[in-house]
Amino acid sequence: MLIFYLFWTSFSIDLYLKLGSPDSRDCTEKEGCSLNSFMQYLEDTNGDTLYLLDDFLDGKDSDRLLIWLSTKSYSELTVIGAPTKLILNSTQNTQKIRLNETVLSLRDISFINMPSSFFYAYQTILTFDNVNFSNNKINGESSIQIESGSLFLSNVRIESTFVHHNSFIHCNDTKIQASGVTLKNFELTTSKCFIFEFDQNCDIDFSNTTFKKSVSLNTVYYMDGCSCVFNLINAKNSNITLFNFVHSSVTVYGLNIHNSDFSLGRITETSLYCMNSVFSKLQASRNFFDIERSNFHFHSFVITDCIFSSIIRCKNRKDNFVSFKNGNFTNLVGLTSSFTFVDSKVLFDQIYFRSIKVQLFSNFFMAKNSFTNLTLCKFDCFSNALLCDYIFSIRNGRFHLDNSQMFNCSMQIFDFLSVRWVIDKVNITDCQCHVPNNQYEMALFKGSGEEPGLMSDCQFFNCLAFQGIIYCHQCDYIVFRKCNFTHCQAVKAGPFSLLFCNVTLVECYIQKCFTPYPSGLITLWGTRSVFEFCSFEHNIKALSPTIRLISPESFVLRNVKAKHYKIFSVFHNTDCKLTIMNCEFGGSLSDTFLVENTNLLQMIAVEFLCNQQCAYYGRSMSDQFSLSTFNYRVFAKEEEKLSKCENYNQFHENYIYSQTRYYEYMNNHEPLSRDSPPFRKFKIVDSYDDPYFVEDITKTADFMEISNTKLILLSISVITLITIKYVLLSILKKTFLKKYINF
């Protein structure tokens, strides 16, 4: 091979071309020959190097040079400019280059006004080194077409290029290597226009690609059935859609996109790995990713200060696998739902979300018929205009969240419908979904459907919700294990509100939580519930009970400890056995269980730590059972007074509650008006500062009843006195007349 190389270099010739030279000058002289002399050069130029020493400003001169290049098939040639400008005719009559089995290198040349179908090469090795393409208009076939060959691009600049049909560079079954490609001020007018179009087993390697001030609503790179590697893509002040991949395998290392209206584009039946990317100050009016039946891996990235129409969307697309790992989303505004998945497998690993604004009636993450797994994630400062939308809205799939944290989220977090969900080791702190004067039913966690759910080792601290921290409706089987609720408040129904569910709480701790009277910290309606090894600590001055049970199917307390409560549990419409085993309560039985029928209580090894300060200290168990029934009736009467008291309705409508409409309202998903039952302008009552609020209202109502009674008695007395007066006068008159007449 070395001998062949020495033999070949010894016979290669350097040719020089200069338009202003005399015709008599030889083309091998460094001063350069004229174009006429060069066209008459009949020697074999295989392996030679042509130096262009002058600009070709006339399209006719450019055509003559291109005619000469078209005759160099089956040879090897290098053309080097000074650098040189090669201006082509702007019409379609420009001479075309057709080469077969050729090795052609073009260096330091600027092609201006390139037309459609300008260059076609078959089984050719084509190299563009330090070449500029500018003012190009492609209305027909692709300007550069290569088939079954190789294309090498180095320091290539494509500027002011307008593609109205097909593409600028089109390759089939070709190996492409590009380094230092710059695209500026180009435009693609239709969805079938591309700058680069690669088909049929192309092997592609791009590195250090730059976009400057480009506008392209359509796709820059189109690939079908290719293998591609991109290294370092930079874009600034550009409006572009980058990719359209079909049946391909693509790896992207390093995307740096700034201050642009940018979209990665569409990915169909493709495996895409994207790593080490930075996106900042984007205003993406299109979907950032659009995926269909593909594997998409997006790792080690930072996305900050951006506005998205949607980050990733695979709606009505099937069989997708999406992986986000080791990334950061900061200061984002979503115009619609940011993540939308259908029939997909989704993985989020070590992702940090911070300062996310979700538009009204748009959820941040939506999935349907999908398997979603999030681990080691942080969610900090999510916000929504009315706080009525969700961070996660999942339908008919599986959801797993573990080892994650949520802080300062001002919107609803979970909404599950027929989802098998697991939430493990998640801390939720300073989150709230309550807006004064707003009647949306809002809870941090909502679940419904026949699929089971598990929440374990979770911490809720200083959270506020309107409908409740946890609200589940018609759930088949839910387990809360080792969950702590501390300093949580609910405006409507307590931290827990469960309707027609099968629920189990194991080793849960609820302390210093608040709910307005008469709701309970835990409201259970038509449920089968089991409490095991749980601990409750309620404010002893709070009038609301710890557990509020309505029409239960079954109820079991096992190894439960409760202290610091005024009323522990209230049982409404109960006709099933209430089993309490191995429990310890800080009050008396009559304070702990308010039930109309005490025969339903089945207590085994239950201890009441009622001390001398208890109101019913020293009473017998039979008296305690009687007092339990009495206290229940008093509690029910106070509820009825609250719902019917005119004075209460008129002056304290902020706190109106009607138990009779409770179930109807809990299932109403439409916002209610100001005068809708059972609430009006509802706001939080700080029971710790004013625990006797309801008592004051009740006393006022009782006083009004007493006043009315006194008024009636006074009226009767006055009427009686008047009657007595007239009777006495009548008697005296008759007596007087009889006496004097008889006289």
Cα–Cα distance for residue pair 85/430, rounded to 1 Å: 66
Question: Both tokens of residue 30?
Answer: 């460094």
Domain assignment present for 483:
no
CA distances from 589 to 1, 594, 605 (A): 102, 9, 13
- On whether both 125 and 216 belong to a single domain, the answer is yes
* Domain stops at, among 281, 300, 325: 281
Q: How many CB atoms lie within 10 A of CB 652?
A: 18
Confidence of residue 612 (pLDDT cuts 50, 70, 90): very low
* Structure confidence by residue, pLDDT tens digits, 315-372: 656 678 999 999 999 998 887 788 988 889 999 999 999 999 888 778 889 998 899 9
What integer pLDDT is reported at residue 128 of this predicted model?
A: 94
Highest-scoring range by mean pLDDT, 2-6, 359-363, 680-684: 359-363
- On whether both 68 and 7 belong to a single domain, the answer is yes
Helix axes 621-644, 693-742, angle to 10 degrees: 80
- On whether both 69 and 148 belong to a single domain, the answer is no
Q: How many CB atoms lie within 10 A of CB 502?
A: 19
- On whether both 66 and 133 belong to a single domain, the answer is no
What integer pLDDT is reported at residue 686 of this predicted model?
A: 38
The DSSP-derived string for 608-652 is E---TTSTTTT--HHHHHHHHHHHHHHHHHHHHHHHH-HHHHHH-
Q: Is the pLDDT of residue 90 over 80?
A: no
What integer pLDDT is reported at residue 466 of this predicted model?
A: 78
Domain assignment present for 61:
yes
- On whether both 120 and 263 belong to a single domain, the answer is yes
* Structure confidence by residue, pLDDT tens digits, 404-455: 999 998 888 999 988 999 999 999 999 988 766 555 667 889 888 888 999 9
- On whether both 251 and 193 belong to a single domain, the answer is yes
Domain assignment present for 101:
no
The DSSP-derived string for 462-485 is S-EESSEEEEEEEES-EEEES-EE
pTM exceeds 0.75: yes
Question: For residue 729, which phi and psi values (nearest 5 degrees)?
Answer: -60, -40
Domain assignment present for 708:
yes
- On whether both 137 and 178 belong to a single domain, the answer is yes
What integer pLDDT is reported at residue 728 of this predicted model?
A: 77
Domain assignment present for 274:
yes
Cβ-in-10-Å burial (0-12, 13-18, 19+) of 679 comes to: buried
Strand, helix or coil for residue 734: helix
Return the CA Rg of the chain.
42
Cα–Cα distance for residue pair 216/495, rounded to 1 Å: 51
Asked if 603 and 582 touch (Cβ cutoff 8 Å), the reply is no
Look at the chain and report how many structural domains it folds into.
3
* Domain stops at, among 227, 259, 281: 281
Q: Could you tell me which residues are beta bridge partners of residue 137? A: 162
241 lies in which domain range? 114-281
Q: How far is CA 217 from the centre of its chain?
A: 25
Q: Is the pLDDT of residue 530 over 50?
A: yes
Q: Describe the chain by its helix, strand, coil percentages, rounded to 5.
A: 15, 50, 35
- On whether both 71 and 4 belong to a single domain, the answer is yes
Q: Which of 362-371, 476-485, 508-517, 643-652 has the lowest mean pLDDT?
A: 643-652
- On whether both 135 and 237 belong to a single domain, the answer is yes
Cα–Cα distance for residue pair 218/408, rounded to 1 Å: 39
* Domain stops at, among 231, 250, 281: 281
Asked if 536 and 565 touch (Cβ cutoff 8 Å), the reply is yes
- On whether both 86 and 124 belong to a single domain, the answer is no
Reported residue count of the chain is 743
In 396-532 the beta strands, taken as DSSP E runs, fall at 398-407, 412-417, 420-429, 432-433, 443-449, 453-456, 459-461, 464-465, 468-475, 478-481, 484-486, 489-490, 496-499, 502-506, 509-511, 522-525, 528-532
Domain assignment present for 704:
yes
Question: Both tokens of residue 648?
Answer: 């209460």
Cα–Cα distance for residue pair 631/625, rounded to 1 Å: 10
- On whether both 84 and 152 belong to a single domain, the answer is no
- Look at 640 and 456; give whichever has higher pLDDT: 456
